[in-house]
């Protein structure tokens, strides 16, 4: 019998991308309203949001960042993720996060701690995901954006990760949300 070539047809997802993790209560979101995000290498005032994993029970896997710019910068810069190791105690000089939640409404609190900003230890990298430019909000500014990190960065115990800038973005005001999944160790 002769073979018949059948065209490839991808199977659609049964659920949305994060539906299962959300339904299990493993997805979390922290929201910070940040003024003048600092350069990632200073480590003082890093954040927007700043996520510290002081737990020995989970790893935090970064999934996405939401960004809404409300006041433009006077210094062109990139926004990105920074992080570091050896954060064996909570960051110092912290400011309370504007909001944090389990994305399973009514779910348990995160085992990681989110802050608006804080002083971190040992930032070792910067991975840009967006730009901030000096044009008015009425020109093609970042506006409101959603950036998929797709789990590229994992924050193990005694480590931290944060949204930061490539240069201190003077005058910028932005609402920034960080979404992560907590995975058991």
Total structural domains in the chain?
A: 1
User: Is residue 2 domain-resident?
Assistant: no
Domain assignment of residue 141, given as a range: 25-184
- Considering only 43-47, 118-122, 143-147, which range has the smallest mean pLDDT? 143-147
**What is the widest separation between alpha-carbon atoms in the chain?**
75
User: Is residue 10 domain-resident?
Assistant: no
**pLDDT tens per residue across span 67-79:** 998 888 888 899 9
User: Is residue 7 domain-resident?
Assistant: no
User: Is residue 60 domain-resident?
Assistant: yes
Judge whether residue 124 has pLDDT over 60.
yes
User: Is residue 45 domain-resident?
Assistant: yes
Q: Choose among 103, 111, 116: nearest CA to 45.
A: 116
User: Is residue 152 domain-resident?
Assistant: yes
First to last CA, the chain: 52
User: Is residue 154 domain-resident?
Assistant: yes
User: Is residue 80 domain-resident?
Assistant: yes
Residues counted in the chain:
185
**pLDDT tens per residue across span 78-100:** 999 999 998 889 999 999 999 99
Average pLDDT over residues 34-56: 93
Full-model pTM? 0.88
Which residues, 6+ apart, have CB-to-CB distance to 47 below 8 Å?
32, 34, 37, 95, 115, 116, 117, 118, 162, 163, 164
- Mean pLDDT comparison of 8-17, 141-150, 159-168, highest-scoring range: 159-168
């Amino acid at each position: 019998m002769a073979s018949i070539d059948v065209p490839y047809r991808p199977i659609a997802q049964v659920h949305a991308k994060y539906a299962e993790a959300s339904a299990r209560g493993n997805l979390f979101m922290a929201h910070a309203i940040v003024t003048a995000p600092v350069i990632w290498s200073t480590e003082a005032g890093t954040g927007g949001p700043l996520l510290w994993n002081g737990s020995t029970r989970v790893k935090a896997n970064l999934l996405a960042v939401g960004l809404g710019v409300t006041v433009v910068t006077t210094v062109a810069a990139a926004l990105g993720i920074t992080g570091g190791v050896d954060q064996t105690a909570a960051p110092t000089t912290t400011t309370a996060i504007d909001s944090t939640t389990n994305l399973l409404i009514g779910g348990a609190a995160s085992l990681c701690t989110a802050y608006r900003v804080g002083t971190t230890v040992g930032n070792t990298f910067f991975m840009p995901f967006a730009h901030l430019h000096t044009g008015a909000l009425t020109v093609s500014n970042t506006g409101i954006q959603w950036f998929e990190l797709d789990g590229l960065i994992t924050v193990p115990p005694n480590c931290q990760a944060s949204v930061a800038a490539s240069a201190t973005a003077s005058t910028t005001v932005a609402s920034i949300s960080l979404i992560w999944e907590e995975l058991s160790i």
